[in-house]
Amino acid sequence: MFSRESITLDRGPLAPPELKWGRGHSDIPDLNNYARFLKKRLRLWGPAHRRSVGNKIAFTFSPHDTGLSQEMLHGFYGDLKNIVRSFLKVDLPSDPVVWEYRGTNLDLVRRPLEKYLNNIAAIISVLQSPEDPLYFKLKRLFADFRKPSQMVTAELIDKRWRKNEKGLYYNALLNAALGLMAKMGAVPWTLTSLLKADLYLGLDVIPGKAAVLTCFDREGRCRAERWRSIEGRVIPCKWVEDVLDEFLREFERPWIVIHRDGDVPSSELEGLLKLRERCSVT
């Protein structure tokens, strides 16, 4: 059901769910030190879902804007391979592919991506900062080609050479590795007790820049991450429906829970309501 009125839920803190890991193991996470808990469980039991990677990992970066060299990226990739092997039990290809671009000219990324599309498993894009103006353009470009991507900053890679920041470097590297591999299907953990709905859809906007859609299934696995450029703050519902078309054929009449962050414009709400013609929507 959709409600046009705001509601307030006051249930207090929710208990953490039981998580399922590799080899059939499960337990309840320690939220007081989740990072240590996560590392220990992955080392002991491995991820809930593994994913072999046969194709190459591609890097994109601007040497001029980031101050990095290809040699530095290869060093970073070596650390990434070790992290992925240790915690996710996956062997990445020996060497990455590196595509350089200059300024805002992303044709130097688009052209090789089109040419070698079937040989690329995922893309790591190195930005000059979290506020890099190319962030959304790159995300949209990779989404258009249906390639998993992970953004990292030049500052993160630079920490590799700072002895006093090694701990921060490896924690951030693990987060980036988990984010990338989860989008590729190597899921660290899933939920022991399945959720009730078939799909959970998260919608958000960066006004004037992008709409973001993330879809999870009842196990808690990420099924899709999509980006689309927008001019205002209204999410195009036809776009949402097109993305859902990838999954709706799996179900006779699925139950979908939609969470839209922030205010929902009336025109957007009307579009989302039309989804009820094809599925149960909450």
CA 213 – CA 227 distance, rounded (Å): 6
Cβ neighbour number for residue 25 with a 10 Å cutoff: 14
d(CA 109, CA 98): 10
Average pLDDT over residues 66-89: 95
Residue 95 has pLDDT above 50, yes or no: yes
> Global pTM?
0.82
Phi and psi torsions of 257, nearest 5° = -100, 125
Nearest to 206 by CA among 226, 225, 230: 230
pLDDT band of residue 20 (cuts 50, 70, 90) is very high
- C-alpha to C-alpha distance for 160 and 146, rounded to whole angstroms: 30
At residue 252, the pLDDT reads 79
pLDDT, tens digit, 9 for 90 and up, residues 96-150: 999 999 988 899 999 999 999 999 999 999 999 988 989 989 998 998 898 999 9
282 vs 238: which has the higher pLDDT? 238
Q: End-to-end CA distance of the chain, in Å? A: 5
CA within 13 Å, CB half, 213 = 26
